[in-house]
Chain A
Amino acid sequence: MNWKSLSAGSQRQVMRDEPLVEDVEIRGHIIDSLILPKVLDQITSRGGSFRVKDISIGQGRHDPSYALIEVQACDRGQLREILAEIADHGAVPTALHDCRLATADMDGAFPEGFYSSTNQRTEVRLEGAWIEVDKQEMDCGIVVDTATRTACCVPMCDERRGQQVVIGHAGVRVLPPELTSERQAFEFMGSAVSTEKPKGAAIREIAAEMRRQKATGGKMLLVGGPAIIHTGSGEHVCRLIRAGFVDVLFAGNALATHDIEQSLFGTSLGVRLDHGGSVEGGHEHHLRAINRIRRIGSIRRAVETGQLTAGVMYECVKHDIPFVLAGSIRDDGPLPDVITDVLAAQQAMRDHLPGVTFALMIASTLHSVAVGNLLPAWVKVVCVDINPSTVIKLSDRGTFQTVGLVTDVEPFLRALMQELNL
């Protein structure tokens, strides 16, 4: 685990003293005219350096190109000098302009050149003032309502004709995590994943964080896969729910199905959890479980009518913990509560995300990555999986705030129970 040694306060101090980078953008026929190499040469010849953060080269003779360049300098004076010089060639700081807006000309797609969002706290400039973007989510567009002076991330499929969409990087600023204050306590940045790292200390920290979240009214999300049930950890999760450490649950058909299968038949995928042996006809249990719930109508109704009396889903219903079960193409049944339209499922998850401050993702590649995509960067994420690639996948997709633990689910949850005194 890559624990940050630098405190948040000292990081902010560093940022304040040396804000020596500035994003500039330049567009037009910057390749043919050699304006781009000229600007880059101007930066280096004045002692600065640069990083091309984004570039798109016009394909046709008349298509303009675009580059977003981070200018880096040793001190403020040098940065000012470089920015003044390159501004003359058309490279202008993205922060000096209002955001550019284009009207969406169709439903379900943004205008060309739309700004593609990150999961970091973002602001857009409107008539000289910076306004915070609501519903921060990566890989969305930003829709601005100029009348109410509000902005929010909107997924591509939800875009509606006539909306005002931010184009390009001008007038958009992304606040680095160091500057987003007060969310620094859980310094899990940099998700070095290894099977070789000691788990005890990490689990102790996670438990401490969960207690902190509970004490401060944080909202905790559990994203779980069926291995929770297969490994016999269902009861650990039930205890977490009963103790108030889960405020919302995201899962798929499988977790709920095997949880209910266990409650109804004592097996998970046909295997007895008490002695680990197979049961004759046990492979049918999960289908019979699904069928039973489908006949009843819903998981909640199964609990309310006394037909489902234990398990993770039972505890959710009993404790009024909302859950979203998102379907996938390999689902049996599915359970009647499963949302099979993936866009509707995404939206249902989004509806529960406001206020979430902590996410524990256990043994679920698909749902972990999907939820990771929806979460803003300041939500702390713990991802536990036996497979390192799940954790790596999550961080590769830009969920930088993830701390990964490569371990079997059951020992993790057992240790977590001990740390939480449950």
Chain B
Amino acid sequence: MAAPQPWILMCRPDHYGIEYEINAWMSRERPANRELAAIQWQALHDLLLAAGARISLLEPALGLPDLVFTANAAMIYRRTAVLARFRHEVRQREVPSNEAWLAAAGFDIAHVPPDTYFEGAGDALFCGDTLFAGYRLRSDALGHQQVGARLGVRVIPLELIDPYYYHLDTCFCPLSPGEAIWYPGAFDEYGHRAITQLVEHLIEVQRDEAEHFACNAVVVGREVITNIGCPRLHAALAAAGYTPRETELSEFVKAGGSAKCLTLRLDGEEAAAWRDR
């Protein structure tokens, strides 16, 4: 039986821009070029289509410039979408759009408790049967534990210590069960020990490439798509049997996002053990 087609949610950058500053990358003095952003987004979209993905689109909304980063909408587990509760009010406004789309698409909507923050697949990534979860800068450790308890999965909270790597998906990218890309500089010693003990094969990204969002990769089958400027990672991926692809995403890097941030995998990430294959 053929594996189900990879299914990804994206949102056109029609209203994208640097309208506020909520991470170390953002500066209103360095605005994004919306036309260029649209071209870059389209190129990523087309690469994903070419890789065999089916893409659904979330309606862009005026005043929600970061709606384009669909990775943060929710964390998907089977038919459940654990909806994000954003730390920043400016992004919390995205929630109704995300909830409406996911509910209409047939997902069971789950919420995290009111006093916790949880920023969706940006901070919660399955590698095998374990949910790796970034906390401290955006999501809460407590929220992750509650999500894990609700879903009945093992959760490994990882403290993010560098404000430039404020979401887990900016410094850690599962490729397949037991295999991941990571940037060690974003984690403390406990995180290093937890990751190295729990993930068998790790591809380490150097600082200069991490700054190009090397870890913010979209994995579709054996294809791994990143921003440009990550040649050593691409060589390592090729050596590990993957097909790396690059596409320039400079306008989104200005907002602290890249390829992975612009996508939400709806049928389960490639590395998730629970995904139908």
A241 to B194, CA, bound (A): 68
What 1/0 mask marks residues of chain B from 114 to 150 whose CB sits below 8 Å from any chain A CB? 0000000000000001000001100011101100110
Minimal beta-carbon separation of B274 from chain A (angstroms): 12
Q: Which residue of A lies closest to B116 (CB)?
A: A90
- Verify if A34 is at the interface (C-beta below 8 Å from B): yes
Which of chain A's residues have a CB closer than 8 A to the CB of B156?
A: 29, 32-33
- Evaluate contact between A64 and B145: CB separation under 8 angstroms: yes
Complex alpha-carbon distance, A29 and B148, angstroms: 9
Contact flag A28-B149 (CB < 8 Å), given A33-B194, A89-B159:
yes
Q: Chain A at the B interface: mostly helix, strand, loop or mixed?
A: loop
Q: Is the CB of A62 within 8 A of B153?
A: yes
Of chain A, the residue at the smallest CB distance from B159 is: A89
Q: Decide if A275 is an interface residue (CB 8 Å cutoff).
A: no
| Contact flag A35-B154 (CB < 8 Å), given A28-B148, A28-B149 | no
Q: How many A-B residue pairs have CB under 8 A?
A: 59
Q: Cβ of B158 < 8 Å from any Cβ of A?
A: yes
Alpha-carbon distance between A419 and B181 when the two chains are bound, in angstroms: 82
Within 8 A of B (CB), among A57-93: 61-62, 64, 88-90, 92
Chain A residues lying within 8 Å of B198, measured Cβ to Cβ, are: 32
> Once the chains are docked, how many angstroms separate the CA of A34 from the CA of B195?
10
Residues on A with beta carbons closer than 8 Å to the beta carbon of B144: 28, 90
Contact check, A29 vs B141: say whether CB atoms are below 8 A apart: no
In the complex formed, the residue of A with least CB distance to B132 is: A33
Bound form: Cα–Cα A64–B193 in Å: 19
Query: Is A90 in contact with B194, judged by CB distance below 8 angstroms?
Result: no
Identify which of A27, A32, A61, A92 contacts B194 (C-beta below 8 A): A32
Cβ A61 vs Cβ B154 within 8 A: yes
* A37 proximal to B (CB < 8 A): yes
Which of B136, B154, B193 is A88 in contact with, Cβ under 8 Å?
B136
- Output the nearest chain B residue to A87 by Cβ-Cβ distance: B142
A35 x B190 contact (CB < 8 A): yes
Chain A residue nearest in CB terms to B145: A28
B residues within 8 A CB of A90? 135, 140-142, 144-145, 157
Determine if B194 and A62 form an interchain contact, defined as CB atoms under 8 angstroms apart: no
**A89 touching B153, Cβ below 8 Å:** no
- The distance in angstroms between the C-alpha atoms of A37 and B189, with both chains bound, is 11
The reply on A393 being an interface residue by CB < 8 A is: no
A38: B residues at CB distance < 8 A: 159, 190
Once the chains are docked, how many angstroms separate the CA of A38 from the CA of B191? 10
Question: Closest B-chain residue to A36, C-beta based?
Answer: B190
A58 and chain B: residue at smallest CB distance: B154
Contact of A92 (CB < 8 Å), options: B142, B149, B157, B159? B142
Q: In whole angstroms, how far apart are the Cα atoms of A89 and B155 in the complex?
A: 13
Known: A32-B198, A90-B142. A62 touches B136 (CB 8 A): no
Closest 10 CB pairs of A and B: A28-B145, A90-B141, A34-B190, A33-B156, A90-B142, A38-B190, A29-B154, A89-B141, A33-B194, A34-B194
- List chain B positions with a Cβ less than 8 A from chain A: 129, 135-136, 140-142, 144-145, 148-149, 152-159, 190, 193-194, 197-198
Q: Which residues of A contact B (CB under 8 A)?
A: 27-29, 32-35, 37-38, 61-62, 64, 88-90, 92
Beyond contacts A34-B193, A38-B190: 9 other A-B pairs, Cβ-Cβ < 8 A, are A29-B154, A32-B194, A32-B198, A33-B190, A34-B190, A35-B141, A37-B190, A88-B141, A89-B157
CB pairs A–B below 8 angstroms (24 shown): A27-B145, A27-B149, A28-B141, A28-B145, A28-B149, A28-B155, A28-B157, A29-B145, A29-B154, A29-B156, A32-B156, A32-B197, A33-B190, A34-B193, A35-B157, A37-B190, A38-B159, A38-B190, A61-B129, A61-B154, A64-B145, A88-B140, A90-B141, A90-B157
